[in-house]
């Protein structure tokens, strides 16, 4: 995925969706050990709260408070230790329900993150399925490793190895699909009762990178408006903490996009035409390291104006290779590459 920094800038995700499947788990919460060991040294499996924040720092909110509140919805957040300008504080993996549990976006292929996800799944009585909001590597890298350990069906919009093809209103376990394109063409969100797992369509920190392709910005705005019509208690984003005022956050996200567009239109009206001139005016708050990502979102905004017939001539367009979004799919690497 990709997102922006805690400032109100624009950033994004990584790549494309398309994994395989993987179910399996065992109840650790009921005392079943996930690993063997000497009886004398039998250890108590970590609690879900320990899995969330055990020894880790840098949370934007108190993790214990958040975990307890999410537990009321049978939801658990496990944040990967992959912070950066585009991943912000790290990529979130979400686990919902139990007997079996469902994993949304397994995250990056990091040993400690995978261990925590597997432990949480086992504690919830096994893995019923893996669902992907989009294909970016920081959300999908761990799919193969998780399926190796806990086989379960994989659900995504497309891709080789996908067991359940997802589209609007399709249900996968407790999850219902809501299309939220923009960050990537195939991006989706999942709704379970009054909880929405937004992937990188809405973030708990920073703002969203929009990939430029035909209809991207309008599709993104339409997806947010669709989420506004739902009766939700909480948004569970791909990056950042849970959002407990869903409608306010969604309306703010829509307003942020129109604010950027207004700034861009004013820049164009002043005769600015180069990428740097437009970024200086409309994305002046973005730190230097995120200017390249902001330039790509600039392209999506320019596309919207062009589609509406309001883009003046002579505007420099940021370089962007749309082929990287066409037919892209996640494929599980050969086993010998994963286990040399």
For residue 74, give the DSSP letter.
T
Pairing assessment for the beta strands 92-96 and 101-104 based on DSSP bridges:
antiparallel
Q: Is 276 exposed, middle or buried (0-12, 13-18, 19+ CB in 10 A)?
A: exposed
Task: Tell me the average pLDDT of the chain.
Answer: 82
Domain that holds residue 124: 47-328
In a domain, 5, yes or no: no
Residues in the chain: 340
In a domain, 12, yes or no: no
- Number of separate domains in the chain: 1
In a domain, 27, yes or no: no
230-267 b/e (C-beta count within 10 Å ≥ 16 → b): eebebbbbbbbbbbeebeebbebbbeebeebbebbbeb
List, edge to edge, every strand of the sheet that includes 234-237: 171-172, 175-179, 188-192, 195-199, 234-237
In a domain, 250, yes or no: yes
In a domain, 134, yes or no: yes
pLDDT value of residue 160: 77
* Phi and psi angles of residue 48, each rounded to the nearest 5 degrees, phi first: -60, -35
Q: What is the rounded radius of gyration, in angstroms, for the C-alpha atoms of the chain?
A: 20
Residues ≥6 apart with Cβ < 8 Å to 224: 180, 201, 202, 250, 253, 254
CATH code assigned at 313:
3.60.15.10
Which mean pLDDT values do the consecutive 10-residue runs of the chain (340 residues) have?
A: 36 35 32 32 46 43 88 97 91 98 97 98 98 95 97 93 96 98 96 98 92 93 98 97 96 96 98 98 92 92 96 93 45 36
Number of Cβ within a 10 Å radius of residue 200:
30
In a domain, 333, yes or no: no
In a domain, 257, yes or no: yes
Give me the DSSP letters along 193-214. Answer: TTEEEEETSS-SSS-B----ST
Dmax of the chain from CA atoms?
Answer: 77
In a domain, 279, yes or no: yes
pLDDT value of residue 81: 95
pLDDT value of residue 321: 64
């Amino acid at each position: 995925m990709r997102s922006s920094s805690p400032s109100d800038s624009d950033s994004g995700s990584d790549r494309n969706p398309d994994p395989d499947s993987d179910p399996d788990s065992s109840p650790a919460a009921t005392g079943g050990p996930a690993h063997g060991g000497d009886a004398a040294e039998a250890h108590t499996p970590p609690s879900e709260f320990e899995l969330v924040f055990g020894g880790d720092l840098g949370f934007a909110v108190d993790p214990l408070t958040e975990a307890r509140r999410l537990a009321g919805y049978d939801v658990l957040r496990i944040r990967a230790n992959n912070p950066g300008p585009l991943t912000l504080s790290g990529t979130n993996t979400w686990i919902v329900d139990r007997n079996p549990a469902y994993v949304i976006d397994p995250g990056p292929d990091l040993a400690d993150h995978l261990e925590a996800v597997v432990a949480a799944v086992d504690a919830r009585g096994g893995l019923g399925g893996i669902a992907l909001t989009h294909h970016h590597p920081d959300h999908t890298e761990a799919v193969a490793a998780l399926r190796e350990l806990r086989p379960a069906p994989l659900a995504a919009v497309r891709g080789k190895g996908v067991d359940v093809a997802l589209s609007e209103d399709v249900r996968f376990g407790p999850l219902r699909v809501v299309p939220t394109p923009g960050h990537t063409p195939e991006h989706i969100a999942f709704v379970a009762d009054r909880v929405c797992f937004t992937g990188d369509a809405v973030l708990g920190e920073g703002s969203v990178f929009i990939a430029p392709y035909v209809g991207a910005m309008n599709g993104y705005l339409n997806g947010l408006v669709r989420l506004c019509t739902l009766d939700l208690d909480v948004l569970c984003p791909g990056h950042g903490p849970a959002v407990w005022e869903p409608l306010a956050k969604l309306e703010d996200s829509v307003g942020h996009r129109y604010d950027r567009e207004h700034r861009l239109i004013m820049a164009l009206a002043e005769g600015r035409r180069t990428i740097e001139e437009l970024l200086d005016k409309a994305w002046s708050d973005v730190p230097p390291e995120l200017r390249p990502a902001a330039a790509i979102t600039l392209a999506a905004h320019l596309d919207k104006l062009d589609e509406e017939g309001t883009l003046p001539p002579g505007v420099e367009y940021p370089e962007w290779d749309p082929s990287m979004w066409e037919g892209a799919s996640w494929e599980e690497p050969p086993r010998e590459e994963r286990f040399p």
